Structure 1
């Protein structure tokens, strides 16, 4: 990105040692590296969002163009036949229903009444 060579890094290290000092230089370098990494991730996420928005916009334009375009009768018939084929493959014929004999309404099971004592 910045095209930094070995000589530039060496010069930055010498300036860092002189200005910051050898004791604080590793901590400062770590902090700077952390912020540079966060900046790169932020820029990368913005690029991804922009690319997604561009793709969504292109798809919306495609959808609008297809909706505005009139369909011929052959296209409609082809789509209907495709839908019919899919529908026929999904819906299988129903199995035969098994009829169970109905319960005899005249026969009632015997019940026992329990009276509570007060």
Structure 2
């Protein structure tokens, strides 16, 4: 990504030591490390979300093809996509399933 050699790093370290001093340099390096970690984590999250959205789009396209064709005469790839969509739909509906009602006795106390 960046083409920084050993001597460039030494120059940056000496400049940091001169500008910040030996007391504040470790704290600045830790802050820089945390920032780099957060940026990497954010980029990883964005990448995962994009992959997920592309997969959803692909499944949606397969579902449209399946609707256009006869559902019984689908190629194996489309059958797998339809099965994945059905499983995902069931998984989404589970949290909204009806919860058992409390007894009237418990709610009055």
TM-score category of the 2 structures, normalised to the smaller one: 0.5 to 0.7
Q: Larger relative CO (CA 8 A, sep 6+): 1 or 2?
A: 2
Residue ranges of structure 1 left out of the alignment (5+ in a row): 76-118
Please identify which structure carries the higher helix content. Answer: 2
- Once residues 71 and 45 of structure 2 are traced to their aligned partners in structure 1, the CA distance between those partners, rounded to angstroms, is 41
- Once residues 26 and 71 of structure 1 are traced to their aligned partners in structure 2, the CA distance between those partners, rounded to angstroms, is 64
Superposition pairs of residues 1-118 of structure 1, within 5 angstroms: 1-70=1-70, 75=73
Could you say what the CA RMSD is over the residues aligned between the two structures, in angstroms?
A: 2.0
Q: Give 1:23 deviation, angstroms.
A: 1.4
Q: Which has the larger radius of gyration?
A: 1
How many residue pairs match? The answer is 74
**TM-score normalised per structure 2:** 0.61
- Once residues 14 and 61 of structure 2 are traced to their aligned partners in structure 1, the CA distance between those partners, rounded to angstroms, is 56
1:116 maps to none
Residue ranges of structure 2 left out of the alignment (5+ in a row): 74-109
